[in-house]
Chains A and B, each alone.
Chain A
């Protein structure tokens, strides 16, 4: 049986490490969560700058702030960055930090694999953005349609950065998916049946399945593109009988589940925040859970609603239209359940609640414009116009980002031990809400009056000038709101009000341990009787039952008996080897081979790190 070295802070082993080394070799899910969150926020700012430059260019017709090529690179990188380098890793930071805490576990199933996921993500993110420094940022759109992406029409390396960067990022996401599925199934505290899992865990659980089942489709799509561009295959070559629509199918078979990957975690966060600040349980929790599962399933059956304009024929159009409208049902059910949670509650208006309320309001709007898109005839006017740009920003920004900020303000005290400033939080919220709506609501109009998307400029006599200017002003208001958030973080990170373990009078297990949690999370493994176990311990079930037994106080012996996984440098080394190998495709085959060999060797080392040595070598 494999043993893992005990590693506790405060020991001699811990003291010998430098701070930097401890972060580079960490396998602690909490630290990995912080790494993901910090990186995600930086890339979010980069994506935001890309957006602001675009909005400045589009503020006036026939503008010359940036060239056509630069603008095309900007919208490609903005989309790719926001989806893969901002929203997904922000969600990942919550998966990492909160899943073990909320299921009563001490870490994830595969701590080193967890670290590997992060370092591979960072490698992919840096690889992708290095293209800016080399003056060849990807310019094929975040969706990279064939056959514009072929080497005939995109001969330079721009597309290669995108193609290979996405592959690297895909590996990271899939590895994390395997890890969290096993963690959630296998490491729940005693008594925590599946239906007693918090709803955030359920939404994250469904998301992980979407990750591991959807990414292979784009992996294949990208492999086919890679072979076309590097080895002369004909997958997307119309002249050889290849069909550019093959790319679209593979991409969207991934791409549609991807949007649920982007929204479900935020929905999970909202499902935790609302009950806490309304002081009553989530209304219809089993229905919300089953709706999440249904959305996960149905999400694999609607991909061609992104292709209503390509000419699939009336039967395919109808089938996908019906499936898409079907998905609106569980989504709507969730929204009503959230509102019903507020009904009869005692709402404490703190920043996390504001952001969750903003989520419901904005996501509803995005969902309704989505219902319009679900109708192919209407979609033929709206797709590829600013109407759909408005739609997806309402669900991704108004939805995911607002939801994620709700989570940030909610769990920040748990992670940092100190509260964020409430007043600055409210300024952030209101400015972001107003700025967001001023930016994106007019884009519905722009779409309805014929403005296509992905254009670097437009003629002055089409009536688009006014709303473009308004939209740009909104973007600047959003920038202001983020600055306020940054000021809030800087102001309170060292000197904010100490939070204590339970600043919000929470309902779930993470609020029962100190803030920030000790490295082992729970001194005594909790036993769970209810989804809102901690609330039950504090107040009982509200129907006359006694409060549940709190776990007994931990003794020094309890803590000494805890074995935590040891840090390891193999995850970061293996990630470097993988990045070296894949980037070699843009340099030379020797680098690919060398990188490949290193990858194999490091995989072996990684696997053998905790395997026992040969007999006679002692241990």
Chain B
């Protein structure tokens, strides 16, 4: 029989390596400042989740150290020594079994009770004063409607800091999941039911942007189904609402006018709405397209170049995009882009 056993020196080296690995990965890297982090919540919903997360994290860390430590200790202390006799053939110890079973159950009670409390707290009914937002998940972009203000927009969700918002989630096609990590947990968007999230974003000092993304695989461009949440400090949300409620800008730029002309004569009008110009409901509402910094499911920045390229060949920029390729020439797309980018 081969004689190979783990020497104390070797065990110490391994332990050191593991510790360095763990430390290196844990500290020195801040999860705190990430644009889509879940550990620095900016809403009440996010904070309630974070409370439980912290409780469970610390509890599991203690268990982790105890169990892994016990394992490593056994490996070091009870390694085979040459000439050692057969160890005592212990079969078990019932009181110990009962003891640690009860201990585990107690730990889970400590985790379970706050969990149930928060489950119910996060699923309470909305109040009449909540800001009502309809979130509609399409393949592969997000639509946002504010029925109280008669506003429909896409890709960018504006919220007033400090006011409770009630999101009603609608899915006209397949299952999606609405996730704004910095503001709280996700909720699936399921056809034929209306799910709900209620949260109150913190009041920011300046207008703050929080990226979001679809979190339920929904087809080819699931990865491209993104959105941005813009939380406004006191008083600024109302300004945004007024700007959205205003009729579309009528640009005097000749290129933009050419673009408008092309738009009204093409099949674009069948899918898109621009107040006073067209009434299509398949694609995003474009009335205030240029008030948004991104487009196409918040995939790209709204630059003239990007918009023109998108109009010419949507599938090139977003695989599987449902906006058809209408064979628009680059002359035409430049004009149409100018038109869209005039719609502030």
Contacts and interface: CB of A to CB of B under 8 A. Distances in A.
* Direct contact, A vs B (beta carbon within 8 Å): yes
B101 A371 contact: no
A286 interface: yes
A133 B85 CA distance: 59
Nearest to B214: A452
A310 interface: yes
Nearest to B14: A430
Contacts, number: 294
A285 B92 contact: yes
Contact of B52 (A365, A378, A448): A378
Nearest to A437: B21
Q: Sorted from nearest, which 8 A-B pairs have the closest CB atoms? A: A380-B185, A450-B36, A455-B223, A542-B89, A238-B191, A311-B195, A450-B181, A68-B319
Given A69-B320, A463-B35, A445 B25 contact: yes
Contacts of B123: 313-314, 317
Contacts of B120: 314, 318
Contacts of B185: 309, 377, 379-381
B73 to A, nearest CB: 9
A461 B115 CA distance: 34
Contacts of B39: 448
A147 B215 contact: no
Interface stretch (A36-44, A198-206, A239-247, A588-596): A239-247
B216 A321 contact: no
B137 interface: no
A279 B86 contact: yes
Interface of A: 67-69, 72, 140-141, 145, 147-148, 153, 238, 241-245, 278-281, 283-287, 309-311, 313-314, 317-318, 321-322, 325-326, 328-329, 332-333, 335-337, 339-340, 342-350, 357, 360-361, 364-365, 368-369, 371-372, 374-385, 422, 437, 441-442, 445, 448-459, 461-463, 466, 539, 541-543
Nearest to A277: B80
Interface string B190-203: 11110110000000
A347 B79 contact: yes
A380 B78 contact: no
A339 B70 contact: yes
B25 A342 contact: no
B87 interface: yes
B104 interface: yes
B207 interface: no
Interface string B173-193: 111010101101111101111
B87 A280 contact: yes
Contacts of B118: 377
Contact of A68 (B71, B192, B196, B221): B221
A371 B5 CA distance: 35
A333 B92 contact: no
Contacts of A454: 217, 222-223
Interface in B75-89: 75, 78-81, 84-89
B90 A441 contact: no
B87 A69 contact: no
Interface in B118-158: 118-120, 122-123, 139
Nearest to A327: B108
8 contacts: A68-B220, A141-B217, A318-B119, A329-B104, A349-B6, A378-B53, A463-B33, A463-B35
A310 B70 CA distance: 39
B292 to A, nearest CB: 16
B206 interface: no
A381 B70 contact: no
A442 B25 contact: yes
Given A244-B175, A349-B79, A375-B56, 18 more contacts: A153-B139, A153-B219, A279-B86, A284-B91, A287-B97, A310-B188, A322-B116, A325-B111, A347-B74, A357-B75, A377-B119, A378-B56, A441-B25, A450-B36, A450-B38, A452-B213, A542-B88, A542-B89
A375 B115 contact: yes
A361 B72 CA distance: 9
A238 B111 CA distance: 37
B320 A311 contact: no
Contacts of A332: 100, 104
A346 B48 contact: no
A311 B193 contact: yes
B31 interface: yes
A335 B67 contact: yes
B53 A280 contact: no
Contacts of B254: none
Interface residues of B, number: 94
A342 B79 CA distance: 9
Contacts of B190: 244-245, 310-311
Nearest to A280: B87
Interface in B218-262: 218-223, 226
Contacts of B177: 309, 384, 452
B197 to A, nearest CB: 9
A457 B223 contact: yes
B71 A339 contact: yes
Given A347-B79, A349-B5, A357-B71, A458 B91 contact: no
B291 interface: no
B78 A278 contact: yes
A376 B115 contact: yes
A448 B31 contact: yes
Contacts of A314: 119-120, 123
Given A280-B87, A448-B39, A539-B86, A384 B216 contact: yes
A371 B125 CA distance: 28
Contact of A283 (B63, B90, B216): B90
Contacts of A145: 174-175, 216-217
Contacts of A310: 188, 190, 195
A140 to B, nearest CB: 8
Given A321-B116, A461-B35, A372 B87 contact: no
Contacts of A347: 5, 74-75, 78-80
A364 B72 CA distance: 13
B320 to A, nearest CB: 7
A329 B90 contact: no
Nearest to B116: A318
B181 A381 contact: yes
Contacts of B100: 332-333, 336
A141 B219 CA distance: 9
A377 B49 contact: yes
B68 interface: yes
B53 A381 contact: yes
Nearest to B36: A450
B93 interface: yes
B112 A364 contact: no
A462 B33 CA distance: 10
B317 to A, nearest CB: 12
A278 B87 contact: yes
Contacts of A245: 190, 193
Nearest to A382: B38
Nearest to A150: B174
Contact of A346 (B53, B86, B112): B86
A148 B78 contact: no
Contacts of B89: 280-281, 541-543
Given A279-B87, A318-B116, A372-B56, A309 B188 contact: yes
Nearest to A348: B80
A343 B78 contact: yes
B104 A333 contact: yes
B92 A364 contact: no
Nearest to B123: A314
B193 A364 contact: no
Interface string B300-344: 000000000000000000011000000000000000000000000
B122 A311 contact: no
B192 A350 contact: no
A376 B48 CA distance: 12
Contacts of A283: 90-93
A457 B220 CA distance: 12
A450 B92 contact: no
Contacts of A384: 177, 179, 186, 215-216
